[in-house]
Structure 1
Amino acid sequence: MTLEIVRLVLVFAHFIGLSAIIGAFILQLPWKSGFDFFPVCIGAGVQLLTGFGLVAVNEIADDVVNPWKVGTKLAITCTVLIVGLIGARRARLAKHTDSDVASLKPLILLAGITAMVNVGLAVFWR
């Protein structure tokens, strides 16, 4: 019973991280400048930590864990985190040098689309 509560709290937090990434992506789709990668970075970090926690809880409960699925989702989440960190750094540099920030749009698109692919894997890979 206690392990199930821990699992549910981790799933809830995992969804919060996901919503931060995809919410930032959808919100910033029409923008031409002023991209904010902070929610992407925080969301990917939350997803990474809660994902590790979910795998640990499943291992403790002796549930079957597909290592290929976990590895693929880990790689995708790390990709989203790295893209978010690169975007945040470039946005900070662009702000200080008054350079073109339109080049950041592909990064926010990549982070959002990659996060949605991760959702698809979670739902459809059984």
Structure 2
Amino acid sequence: METLRLVLLFLHILGFAALIGGLLSQVRSDEKKVLPIMRDGVGTAFVTGLGLVGVLEAGDGDVDHVKIGIKFAVGLVLLVLVMANMRKPTIPNGLFWGLLALSVLNVAVAVFVSPTHVTEVPA
């Protein structure tokens, strides 16, 4: 089970790297658009994220449902925005910067939001 979790985590990170890399490659460009690498990256990150939650739920460890819920919501918004704008020749600057901000936010939540632990008061 641990090997599956690590493989899914590796693919999850690669998915976000592809999404953010596709966005960063266009920062200096005048016309921005949704690239196929961004579509593949967000899809990979979303699906592997769901798989990771399944593996974590099946295991014995604690799952931070608030963190998972935030990442799911942000990931779903990213997925919908990328897929809805895939065929458009260009996207507005606001949408572009919003996609970049949401992508970085999702990574930040993964790194900085620690699992909530209930501390027991000693008797």
The alignment's TM-score, normalised by the length of structure 2, stands at 0.84
Do structure 1's residue 108 and structure 2's residue 96 form an aligned pair? Answer: yes
DSSP 3-state at the match of 1:35: coil
Which residue among 9, 12, 19 is the counterpart of 1:11?
9
> CA–CA distance in 1 between the matches of 2:107 and 2:22?
16
Distance, in Å, in 2 between the alignment partners of 1:39 and 1:104 is 19
CA distance in 1, matches of 2:94, 2:38: 14
- Work out the number of aligned pairs and report it: 114
Judge conservation of contact 2:32–2:93 (CA < 8 Å) in 1.
no
1:11 aligned counterpart, secondary structure: helix
User: Which has the larger helix fraction?
Assistant: 1
1:1-126 aligned at under 5 Å gives the runs 3-33=1-31, 35-91=33-89, 101=90, 103-126=91-114
Structure 1 spans left out of the alignment, 5+ residues:
92-100
Q: Could you say what secondary structure the match of 2:96 adopts?
A: helix
Point out where structure 2 has 5 or more consecutive residues left out of the alignment: 115-123
Shift of 1:38: 2.0
Q: Helix, strand or coil: the match of 1:56?
A: helix
Aligned partners of 1:119, 1:34: CA distance in 2, in Å? 22
**Runs ≥4 residues deviating over 3 A:** none
With normalisation by structure 1, the TM-score equals 0.83
Cα deviation digits, residues 73-94 of structure 1 (max 9, x gap): 0010011111112221322xxx
**How many Å separate the matches in 1 of 2:10 and 2:4?**
10
- What is the deviation of 1:34? 5.4
Give the letter aligned to residue 31 of structure 1.
S
